[in-house]
Structure 1
Amino acid sequence: MYRSLIIVAAVLASTSPARAEPEVLDVDPAQDWVHAPTGVRLPARNNDLARDRITSFLAGENNIGTSYFSPDDSEILSIYVYRSGSYDVSMMADAAIAAMSTNDQLGSIAADSAIFSTFGDAAVGQASGVAATFSVVGDYRSTGLALFRTGNWLVKIRLSSKRTDAETLDRRLRMLAAGLPVDPPGRTAPPAYRIAECERFSLRGEVARRKLAMADWIIATAVVSLSYDETAEDEVQGVIAPQDTPRLCRDRQSRPGRMFYRDAESGDPRTIVFGDSGTVSQVGETAISLEEATSPPVVLSIGNGMRTEFYAGFESTPGFAQMIRTLEDGVVQASVARTDDGSEITLNTTE
């Protein structure tokens, strides 16, 4: 089973998953550096590109990033390795593409010029990664990103160039991603796909809250606890397996920094992705219901791969507006924090 599952009864005051202040790692600029949990190697140089500082955005090495620059600043390469509230590559890439479209420092990104492709191998999953490249009108000619999953990590590569067109950049991005060394994870990710805009769905009204017993919250947090334990792959299988993730579509209300995703078949709201650094809110049924002949409660959570907070239970799936209001109210009912020994569950006993 998993190494450690600590349950603490307490009153929670946090309103969002905690983030540490960015910290520059003490790394010899002339030496290669390896991200130990994934095996991702960040060389001091990549062809004519020189590595800048390596920054940790979460405690430890749970969200790190670095950039490479050409001598004449005509090319910029950035690599990020991070935990996330969701490892759905298709969705997280879509949110990252939206965030990228708002960055005008390189020039104006031509949205209709998108080159979308998938990549991957037997180690991480065939066609499980996403690459998207765009032409740029301005100082740069092209920009793009590649995103793939390895275990419980996301790896994102950004490349921008004043030299090459989008087609050439797309090939280089996928070659960079394929050549990035990683330690093979226990499970491979499913094939990725390009998320489309949803058909028009009716906006949902208010849905009734559902009060959960302490045992309900333990059940709701147990799946996340398992996913946080790096030694629990066997127990996780069949519970949060990647292939169980429903195919998604992008809600028309989405905007960069706050992207809404629905189940493409049912139209039910599923996820809100905040920015592109891994903070994700999800809504869905718990695994089981303790009440006989009663459907499992729907629970709202938000997480960043290091801490997941649970905000409320509902009788049915709420709409995005109600999800946002519930998160803004800041009433945390339970949380799961990743620890060196597995995970720690904290439950609110005030209700």
Structure 2
Amino acid sequence: MRRFGMGLWAIGLLMTAASAPPAVAQLQRNAIAAPADQPYRFRHSGLTIPAMLEGMPRGRIEQFGTDELDVFANYERGSDAITLYVYRNVSGAVPVWFDRAGASIETRRDMYGIATAAGPATAFAPPGQSVASGLMGAWSVSKPPYRGTGLALLPMGDWLVKVRYSSATHDGAGIAARLPAILSALTWPTGLAAAAPAQPIADCTTPLDFPKKAKLVRDEKSNMMSGLLGGMLQSMASDKLAEKDTPDADAQKPATWCRDPGPSPVGAVYRRDAALDSYLLAFSDAGRGAWVAPDMSGLLLGKKGGKRWSVALVDMAETSNYPPLTALPRPAEVLALVQQPAISTTRTWGDKTITLNGGAMPGRR
């Protein structure tokens, strides 16, 4: 193992044998022990939730994965239910994940039947904040026992908070009227840096152009460079994200996200500032996805390397990098690629390390 000192952080570089590809699948749920009659403070984010909310008792508190990076709590009374999620903000932005959550509501015919928006999604300032950095929406639904469901999603420092409220009593308009009171009933951390203003997502004016089939680059040395450089950038980005007292650059120069109108086998494709050479493939509404962008190793190699595109699979605690491609890949090609072993994995939480996987290089397959 070789370690590279990088100022305030260090990278552990470890060569390993080929390993199983990361799963783009259902994550394991684990219970978190908490007294049911006491408020609960989330371990990392500092948000405190009460034992009762909107007259509903709190049930189990659980997490997806480990280390409480993706935690949720349920409140229920009869057919009425509130679920509150707190997860690490590792990709995209509030408009992206609100759009995915809204799409989840509108396509769940088995649960809600036909969901009709009670009005346009609106931006709002989270409790204790002055910038309208959150988004809120509500729907009337046709399938009993529910009459309405609603959603609020907002930033909280390095975390995102999502509140889902489904009711057999309130229709969409009634849910919309209750969501601000529900948010105010939570105890929010103070001293947070200003977040970027949020606005609902719209379709990009033109779809991405995929001129040809993207092929894997099979040069082992340049692929190792790609894996290392991608890992270094991801580690530095996660360190910057952890500097809680430094305003986020997005708050000063907020990006505008749009939804690419082209097809996707899962989720949807989102483009920052309508970029033509990069995108985020958002799998669901839980903050995870695959980021596609020009590859740094190709830029450093110049004409010898040619332009390349990298694919990075973003999870709550780590980001996995895949062999670069010769062209901007289609979402279906990205989805197929991330089922294969990664060439490097960057831990973005806890011990910041980069693991290079020599056995995953395309030339060795």
TM-score (norm 2): 0.82
From 15, 19, 24, the equivalent of 2:21 is 15
Unaligned runs of 5+ in 1: none
Residue of structure 1 aligned with 2:148, choices 139, 142, 145: 142
Task: Determine helix, strand or coil for the equivalent of 2:338.
Answer: helix
Give the equivalent residue in structure 2 for 1:126.
131
Alignment of 1:300-339 (within 5 A): 300-328=311-339, 330-339=340-349
- Taking the aligned partners of 2:191 and 2:93, their CA distance within structure 1 comes to 16
Alignment match of 2:197 (pick from 170, 191, 201): 191
Deviations 1:288-328 (A, max 9, x none): 73225677742101112212111121344222232223223
- Which residue number in structure 1 is paired with residue 355 of structure 2? 346
How far apart are 1:32 and its partner, in Å? Answer: 1.2
- Quote the residue 1:279 is aligned against: 288
Distance 1:184 1:128 in 2: 16
Root-mean-square deviation over aligned CA pairs:
3.2
- 8 A contact 2:127–2:183 mirrored in 1: no
* Matched residue type, 1:68: Y
Moved more, 41-50 or 186-195: 186-195
1:146-295 pair list within 5 angstroms: 146-184=152-190, 187-201=193-207, 204=210, 205-210=212-217, 211=219, 212-229=222-239, 232-233=242-243, 243=253, 245=255, 247-254=257-264, 257-263=266-272, 265-268=274-277, 270-286=279-295, 289-292=299-302
What amino acid is the match of 1:154?
A: L
Deviations 1:257-315 (A, max 9, x none): 52222356344450111122232111013467322567774210111221211112134
For the structure 1 residues 252 and 214, does the alpha-carbon distance in structure 2 shift closer, same or farther, using more than 3 Å as the test? closer
Deviation at 1:36, TM superposition (A): 2.3
CA spacing shift, 1:188–1:274, aligned 2, 3 Å: same
Of 134-143 and 222-231, more deviation after overlay is shown by 222-231
- Please tell me whether the aligned partners of residues 99 and 276 of structure 1 are also in contact (alpha carbons under 8 angstroms): yes
| Structure 1: distance between partners of 2:82 and 2:117 | 23
- Residue 110 (structure 1) aligned with residue 115 (structure 2): yes
State the match for 1:25 in structure 2.
32
Taking the aligned partners of 2:194 and 2:21, their CA distance within structure 1 comes to 33
- Structure having the higher helix fraction is 2
Residue-pair matches, total: 346
- Output one character per residue of 1:90-131: Cα deviation in whole Å (capped at 9) or x when no partner: 111111111222334553233454431111259667111111
Q: In the superposition, relative to structure 1, how do residues 104 and 202 fare at CA in structure 2: closer, same or farther (>3 Å)?
A: closer
Q: Which residue identity does 2:224 align to in structure 1?
A: M
Measured after TM superposition, the shift of residue 334 of structure 1 is: 0.8
* 1:290 match: secondary structure: helix
Letter in 2 for 1:38: S
Contact 1:337–1:345 (8 Å) recurs in 2: yes
How many angstroms apart in 2 are the aligned matches of 1:308 and 1:127? Answer: 30
Pick closer, same or farther for the CA change 1:242–1:295 going to 2, 3 Å.
Answer: farther
Call closer, same or farther: CA 1:273–1:202 in 2, change over 3 Å. Answer: closer
Q: Which moved more, 1:235-244 or 1:301-310?
A: 235-244
- Say which SS state the counterpart of residue 123 (structure 2) adopts: strand
Q: CA deviation at 1:245?
A: 4.3
TM-score using structure 1 length: 0.85
Structure 1 residues 7 and 175: alpha-carbon distance in aligned structure 2, compared to 1, 3 A threshold:
farther
Displacement, 1:48?
A: 1.2
Name which of 47, 51, 68 aligns with 2:58: 51
Aligned partners of 1:128, 1:40: CA distance in 2, in Å? Answer: 17
The alpha-carbon deviation at position 75 of structure 1 amounts to 2.0
Instruction: Give the conservation status (yes or no) of the 8 Å contact 2:312–2:322.
Output: yes
Residues in 1 aligned to 2:215 and 2:245: alpha-carbon distance in whole angstroms: 33
Identity %: 23
